[in-house]
Structure 1
């Protein structure tokens, strides 16, 4: 046995010692030297031609080394294989500070002569019939085209009609020049660009030979290239293959003053059925087609290389296994960076930098899937830790089983075509079911869309993660998608997809699940959607959209613990559409979605919301301490029995600080109490608007609101408005017309004695200075000036004074239920509007039912009844809401109407205080309120914070936030006045009998709860987070007087919490903060 082992070792060592290094240098090489001489750095060979002639003599373990700083022209034709233990290596030698050796397919073009009209020509006998790469001063120069890329519609013409996929008609096209023989670059649809040879051109007709099976869509775009008639901009070129002359437009400047090169070699590396080959530390520049062509090969490694200016793809492989593409820089590929055109397995594509792939229309390949960065077909492949910037179509597209796409940073894509994605997969109807595919930890940014050359140029369907027809069995987790023109994640006719822990921000839609007739039997089902953060940056972005051609949304899958957030309009965030005989589409609140489908039952809305804009046209606020941020100066309370108290409250019941009004004792008598707020002067006959936020601890209570003299005789100077009070927060707005002028006036809140408490905030009183377009909107005595319309004649509008809203109001109802899709309208004549000016519509609204919506817009009063504004969606609630909508007039109209368009429903609603005013609108900047941060690197990133924030889970941040590799966070600014804070269920605030103290606060480990002045009783202590979720519950016994309890905070996340003590008669609460 020892002899056998010794023999094997000697044989192995002999193989190693036989391995040789062969050196190449164009600077001091000579191909006439012997193979032995070429193994010495001092006597290298010179050319790739010599290498190719000797390649068949290489042995496993041999190395071919190119001298740094030198350029080598030609194709390396790999004709031998290494072994697993002893691969053949192509690499570099020489000065480590010199540039990498270049394997080039470029030739210099010289001998330029002018041919007139600014066009110059020079011979290029080695140029290909179909030339793809021309560099001017080392920068890629696109072929000439008509129209130019900087023309209207990004240089696309639009066709009016077509015949099959061989003829188009463009009514604007002329006979001159005649484009016969040129190349027609056409977008037959959004996801294909074809390059077709024009066989004949006559007038408005072009007949061509199609490069694909796609028929062009009418209204889609095309342009023309590969013709001398296209040359009219500096550097544009055309290669005349019949004369072998390169032509370029340089005006009066001789091109000889620039370095002009053309690619004349199809591939820089070619191999078929070879194995165990490594390329390391080389620069591959200027292939006219694919820099690497790898067919039916195994264990091929390309590492630490530069691959640039590839006429088609940087790396193409087919039927190969074990390909490793590691740590390379790949730039300027006309079509793709990596294309596995047929089954390739066990590949690793990792840590590469890939940029500018497929970004020039007409320079990539025809057909589907082209112009993308990576197209990976096959099983057991990994794409990880790559940085991929600026891609024309899909960035990472894959098929097969056991595929891992992990920790890639994708930025800017679908720049040339769209209906694509940052990460994309497709199966198709009837495809074999795939398994074990994972997309995790990727950062995907800026899917731009390419509407130019389509029938809808403003539509930009660019999806972050796109699971297309019949895709299934993919885990999509911990990814970040932001700033895409389409959806953050799009499940299109997909099934068995697990979406978990993804963050989707500022996409046109954050999540869409859509079953349509493109793949009618590819049902959306068995999906799991959980723990995802979906944040729309602005009001025109849906948070989610769930649509189907049937009535099967209930079968889409399980949904739970997701965050549906649109901080600037957090109500109707989910769009649904299904068919039940006819299409039924509606925008839904999270509550309505939960109620209808019993999904997302533990999911959440935004913890904070902000105002979209500020409409001026109103006077300054006459009460200077309106927000009560630090105190309640400027007011006092009065009761004839002296039993009222006003105090400053900062427990977060309303926004920041608030006015807290309560009774110190209950007299049992009729006792009217007042909060009195000095508010300056008013002028008789002018219009004043009073706004405030309010929340109480008792329902079914009301108070009077009016203006009066501050001094004796304290006479009222306006009518009295009745304001309902309840345990839900309300935003209130009342209009007053003073009957007399008064230089010292007060706002009065007049309340009957109760054993509850009232919180008031955001008090604003201002003169309305803009003219009211509609002046009868208070409905104090009638509803003149409006009418309703229904095609089925089943609506009714009437005046009512039943106190549903203050004074009189407009009551709208349906007199019968038709069972049909029937939109009815309230039509209010409201004068004129001027194009470009902005108008604010305000109204009070109360519905008999929740979760209903209506459309609101401005339109012409008379035929043809054109809309004069965008359509706004207004929600209808069974609690009074104050609505403010801003419209920009599209055209000038002297006779305009306000339209409330209401779908038929078995419900009644009441309107009041309708006012339309011209206003100067200051739009909110979302970036002043929302901060999005991400970390696309492999190391932890720390971001400094200049102010306080919370995330959507209500965890607080200040000073800084640290992001782990390939993660992100959406932060909401927490130190500004908020429009509508988180709603905590109504509770009775701290009792005067029981004293509760929490220490320390903030707390990091043990929370001490001290309860004093207590009665002996059994109570429950509960702790809730600000999303309303119960975190802890414990039954305890209270001793008389003093009690102490401790709670371990180890399992509590950092954030704000509410601790409640629930007794037989009372509920007590206090806030505390769990620190980091």
Structure 2
């Protein structure tokens, strides 16, 4: 009995323990929400709004589990570091969020600094025991205050002292006298365009400073530096200095007692610390004033950061280091970061979407030293990175920098390279030549690369490029990006390969719209594709495109087609080609196509403008008061004394030529004549006609007659060609000169140049504003946008816009004010035979119709193209060129309808669709876009269907023509006809009973017929026939039909 009772008691105990375990287990896994408020108490349980915790320290002591939440009360501030040390689970993340009403709760890494005392003048001092060995930010009522510096940023010499001489990276001598002992201070130096370093002064001897400098870059003479972290720097409101030796903070304040303000200083290295955890969600918080990072994550996965404000970081806004996956940052604002905005290391599957990064790395003394600093967004993620719909504005160096396998899409990037330069709005680098591919940069709008000068005596702004692919980048698609208003290049490609540029627009970028460049980097540009891009320079002096190589390999750079190289105020020499490092050719589109066989379907500007308006023209001619009748007054000088100028009576022109070849590529001749005196800032007008046997560039300018032979104007470039052209240009004299020369410069080659009707007059001109003629419209939103126009415009494709243009999201259009009336062009296409037999030739008629009301007054030049489908070939084309199965034609003056005829032949049965389109025209078309494809439904394209059956057709070419005779069910084979060819007559012995024979010429005309021929009968015919090809068609009694080709040919 006792044993039974004892066993029953054991079972009850086990059951009770089991129940307790189960209940405890389910209780610990239940979702728990904790509340934190500034008026709470850390002794509370924190599980209700009425009993919240008070501090981050209490939150850090919690053991959190899956689906738990920690909520901070809106409107409150919590100081310290939030340490996230536990993980959630799939679908049940640990959440850190807000509750209540009002502004987002603030998590701050700073402490208030109080008890200020006045130590000298406007300088106040307070102790900050919590500040430790450094302070990276001081804030007055929440606004960042400047770290004291000498000289001040707005002082002369760009706010800098000058490195006169240096030794490596650890010693410099100042060009300016240093009257203060700067030992222990920090020097901020700029050794090169893209680096700002900070180093401690360990010793000073006069103007020489010894530095503790860990940089990889030596100092540079003539470049600037300044001092900071020294009490002698405080002389402007808000400037501060922290002395770690005694934990004292000094502040320059001329606005009264700082004890009446809230002044805070950074003390926590990070405000949120996320380490070695998974499934975490952070949202609806404001994280601010960290000494190093507002948020730091290490080896974290499945992290969601949504709708947070990261502000006023002493160094970096958000840093995610180590390795992990599935990181999502959305709808956040990262503002006022002293160094980098966002950094992520070697992660996978990263989404950075709909965020705003503003004012990053703008203070040169408060960012970090070395490479990789002052960047808004920097990613070393390995794959699956999506960066889209973000706004990046005002950044010290690079906007977005990634490694590979990333998508960068629909971002708005503006005002970059504001502190350092030689960077880009988007930048990729692959110097170590690591595997890098599958990156797509699409539909971004990038503007206002600012750039900074280097040496203090230099006015040259370092490159601030829109998109910069540097050193061996490979496998990148650049698609439909818009880059504008950069003080560098629109797109800079340095030694890249397998890069595709498709439908990008580069406009008004100061150094040029595109450069593909390689001199000595081992990664040679290869397998690149440039298609359908717009490269448009806004001003007459702005470069367009350059292709540059240290070798003679420009043709190997890649494939280029359907691009627009445009400079409406000066559309000559839009492409610079440099090869073998020193061979430089400035070419227009046509010359580039002929010389390098690239861009064969690319175009210059559809419209051009003068950059001036003549208000008054002097009646006094310096040159040209009467027609030129001899070379009197014109003289020549040439590098190798082989240039000549003489009067050509037959053409009534000055002829410039070279008497013999110098054998030097740098040879040129100057042809000049005196124009009396010119006066600085006065304007002059030059007019002349020019021609040459083939395209040839010439340069016109004014210069001094005597040493030092300085130019007195800008140099203007013009193109001479086989058609005589008239040119006019206005220039402004750069200096006073009593004896000036009008000068033509011509490079040496075998062809002459003929100059006619040269005039030189003083003029009153007014320079036009390019903004009145050229504008860029873009749409930085997620919806279609209508841009209202107050006057007619056209784009580079010659599409006409009378009142408005509709742009898709993140699309753009460069618009050219239309000073010419629109001309409506229609294209039609017709085949003489829509149904063909195999091998039969048909004539196709392509007609350009001028359907405008002013068709007789406008000499519109129109070009068309027609793509032949596979197995349809052109036959004996004359006057209609064909390249790669594309037929092209040009109507030089489409005053009335113009028809082109070409002939095609199918070599395989089936259905063929032959399509043609207008690809360019002088005048804008109000109803169509040239070169927009053959399936857009517009009236400048047309197509025709050819149906080809299996019936055999015989081609009989003669005298350069092609014809065909259709023979249904006929077999073409030899027969007993001899001799063939014959100079006299043919003899035919019938091999079977024949119904009839017919002899046809190449035009299908019947030349001979004979009925009822018996087997074995001999027939002689053709003695009177002229020499030609013929076809004898034989119809047998059996119903079979045969054809024999005959040739009549005299000896």
- Per the normalisation by structure 2, the TM-score is 0.76
2:371 is aligned with 1:368: yes
1:484 aligns with 2:486: yes
- Matching residue within 734, 738, 742 for 1:894: 738
User: How much does 1:1018 deviate?
Assistant: 8.4
Does the alignment pair 1:224 with 2:227? yes
1:531 aligns with 2:525: no
Tell me what 1:293 maps to.
296
289 and 797 in structure 1: CA distance in 2 versus 1, 3 angstrom threshold: same
Q: How far does the alpha carbon of each residue in 1:989-1015 deviate from its partner, in whole angstroms, 9 at most, with x for none?
A: xxxxxxxxxxxx899x99999xxxxxx
User: How far did residue 197 of structure 1 move?
Assistant: 1.1
Q: Within 1, Cα distance between the matches of 2:480 and 2:671?
A: 47
SS of residue matched to 2:555: helix
Output one character per residue of 1:14-70: Cα deviation in whole Å (capped at 9) or x when no partner: 4896110011000x300122xxx311111000001111122xx11111101100100
1:1062 corresponds to which of 865, 874, 899: 899
1:29 aligns with 40
Distance 1:89 1:869 in 2: 69
User: Which of 950, 968, 972 matches 2:794?
Assistant: 950
Q: Distance in 2 between matches of 1:1072 and 1:218?
A: 58
Which structure ranks higher in relative contact order (CA pairs < 8 Å, sequence separation ≥ 6)? 1
TM-aligned CA distance change 1:551 to 1:830, over 3 Å: same
* Secondary structure in structure 1 of the residue aligned to 2:598: coil
Q: Counterpart of 2:366 in 1: which secondary structure?
A: coil
Equivalent position of 2:865 in the other structure: 1030
Report the 3-state secondary structure (helix = DSSP H, G, I; strand = E; otherwise coil) of the residue aligned with 1:46: coil
Structure 1 residues 126, 892: CA separation in 2 closer, same or farther (over 3 Å shift)? farther
Alignment of 1:394-543 (within 5 A): 394-400=398-404, 402-429=405-432, 431-451=433-453, 456-517=458-519, 519-543=520-544
Cα distance between partner residues in 2 of 1:898 and 1:1006: 51
| CA deviation after TM superposition for structure 1 residue 936, in Å | 1.1
Matched, 1:351 2:354: yes
Query: Are 2:86 and 1:80 equivalent residues in the alignment?
Result: yes
Q: 1:413 to 1:157 in 2, by over 3 A?
A: same
The Cα of 1:303 is off from its aligned counterpart by: 0.7
Given that residues 830 and 896 in structure 1 are in contact (C-alpha distance below 8 angstroms), is that contact kept between their aligned partners in structure 2? yes
Which of 716, 720, 733 lines up with 1:876 in the alignment? 720
The residue matched to 2:60 in structure 1 has which SS? helix
CA distance in 2, matches of 1:11, 1:1021: 87
Whole-angstrom distance in 1 between the partners of 2:300 and 2:743: 69
| Cα 1:874/1:1059, change in 2 over 3 Å | closer
Q: How does 1:904-983 map to 2 (within 5 A)?
A: 904-974=748-818, 976-977=819-820
Q: 1:927 aligns to what SS in structure 2?
A: helix
Once the 2 structures are TM-superposed, how far is the Cα of residue 196 of structure 1 from its aligned partner?
1.2
Cα distance in 1 for partners of 2:455, 2:901 equals 71
Quick one: structure 1 residues 446 and 1071, their matched pair in 2 at CA, closer, same or farther if it must change by over 3 Å? Answer: closer
Q: Structure 2: how far apart are the matches of 1:820 and 1:567?
A: 30
Query: Residue 269 of structure 2 aligns to a residue in which SS?
Result: coil
> In structure 1, what is the Cα distance between the partners aligned to 2:732 and 2:565?
28
Q: Give 1:422 deviation, angstroms.
A: 0.8
* SS of the residue 2:546 aligns to: strand
Query: 1:784 — aligned with what?
Result: 632
> CA offsets, 1:961-982, max 9 Å, x none?
22111111112222x248xx99
Structure 1 match to 2:577? 576
Distance 2:692 2:828 in 1: 47
Cα shift at 1:443: 1.0
Please list the CA deviations of residues 926-950 of structure 1 after superposition, one character each: whole Å capped at 9, or x if unmatched.
Answer: 2222221111111121212222222
C-alpha distance in structure 2 between counterparts of 1:1027 and 1:497, whole Å: 33
2:95 aligns to what SS in structure 1? strand
Between stretches 434-443 and 468-477, larger displacement belongs to: 434-443
Q: Is the 8 A contact 1:200 1:208 kept in 2?
A: yes
- Deviation string, structure 1 residues 78-108 (Cα, Å, up to 9, x no partner): 221112222111111112xx00000012222
The aligned residue for residue 186 of structure 2 is 183
1:130 is displaced (CA, Å) by: 2.6
> CA separation in 1, counterparts of 2:791 and 2:594?
38
Structure 2 distance, partners of 1:229, 1:258, is 24
Between Structure 1 and Structure 2, whose CA radius of gyration is higher?
2
Other structure's SS at 1:593 match: helix
Taking a change above 3 Å as real, the CA distance of residues 109 and 591 of structure 1, as seen in their structure-2 partners, is: same
C-alpha deviation, 1:1033, in angstroms: 11
Say whether the 8 Å CA contact 2:125–2:251 is kept in structure 1. yes
State the Cα deviation string for residues 289-312 of structure 1 (Å, max 9, x = none).
Answer: 111111111112211000000111
Match of 1:49 in 2: 57
In structure 2, runs of 5+ residues without a counterpart are 1-18, 832-841, 851-860, 873-892, 903-920, 929-937, 939-1051
Matched, 1:326 2:334: no
Aligned residues of 1:1019 and 1:1061 also touching (Cα < 8 A): no
2:845 alignment counterpart: 1020
Structure 1 CA distance for aligned equivalents of residues 924 and 644 of structure 2: 49
- Matches of 1:961 and 1:968 in 2, distance apart? 10
Q: Does 1:1074 align with 2:915?
A: no
* Deviation for aligned residue 1:211: 3.3
CA distance, structure 1, for counterparts of residue 775 and residue 304 of structure 2: 42
Deviation at 1:1032?
9.3
Counterparts of 1:940 and 1:440 in 2: how far apart (Å)?
Answer: 17
User: Would the aligned equivalents of 2:517 and 2:549 in 1 still touch at CA under 8 Å?
Assistant: yes
**Structure 1 residue 895 displacement after superposition:** 2.7
User: Paired residue for 1:825?
Assistant: 670
